[in-house]
Amino acid sequence: MNAPNEYSFQELSPSTWGDFQSLFESRGGPKNCWCMVWRNAPVRSAGLPEKEHKKACMKVRVFSGVPNGLIGYSRGTPAAWCSVAPKTTYKNLTGTLNTSTENVWSIVCFYVRKADQGQGFQRFLLHSAIEYAKSKGCTSIEAYPVERTSPSYRFMGFVDLFEEEEFSYLGEAGTRRKIYRKSLA
């Protein structure tokens, strides 16, 4: 599936950090988490607000070359985010179900600004995340979506999207999140 001309995607890197920061700090942006919920972070220093600590931790990751995800652009403006990175760079995402980590990447978060919601941007993010992971040597990609009726974890995507994109169901990760995987080899 090709993205419409108005959509493009770039890896989060030192050169796109400003766009990422702008997106996350925009009205309605995920500035409370800085996409650190599922990532290991050093203990917060006394006196540093939690939001600033998470932002600083993400910045260190980005500037040290750790893959973190993709920024989606709509007409050249930062408009969306997909957290996609090697599974080993995240905390335990599968609960008690032990799935392999060798050459496996994980998709753990989608954010699309309100003005761009409902136009298929999330599906374009997913396709871009798959291609990006594949270009980095990933042979399988996992996701941890929820049902549309779920009261929480909605940022992780919805089951129907992953089923439509031919991900295979592997099991449960807690009470709401499901584990889906797609082979890219």
Least confident window among 3-12, 56-65, 147-156? 3-12
Cα 118 to Cα 97, 114, 158, distances in angstroms: 33, 9, 14
Alpha carbon distance 28, 22 (integer Å): 11
Q: How far separated are the first and last CA of the chain, in Å rounded?
A: 19
**Tell me, what's the pLDDT at 173?**
92
- Quick check: 103 pLDDT over 80? yes
DSSP letters for 103-133:
TEEEEEEEEE-GGGTTSSHHHHHHHHHHHHH
pLDDT in tens, 50-88: 899 999 999 999 999 999 999 999 999 999 999 999 999
pLDDT in tens, 152-165: 999 999 999 999 99
State mean pLDDT over 128-139.
96
Quickly tell me which residue has 């040290």 as its tokens.
Answer: 64
Name 105's bridge partners.
86, 141
In the chain, the domains with their CATH numbers are 7-183 (3.40.630.30)
- Quick check: 97 pLDDT over 90? no
Confidence of residue 2 (pLDDT cuts 50, 70, 90): very low
**Tell me, what's the pLDDT at 5?**
64
Distance of CA 146 to the CA centre of its chain: 14
Does residue 157 sit in helix, strand or coil?
coil
Does residue 155 sit in helix, strand or coil?
helix
**Tell me, what's the pLDDT at 4?**
57
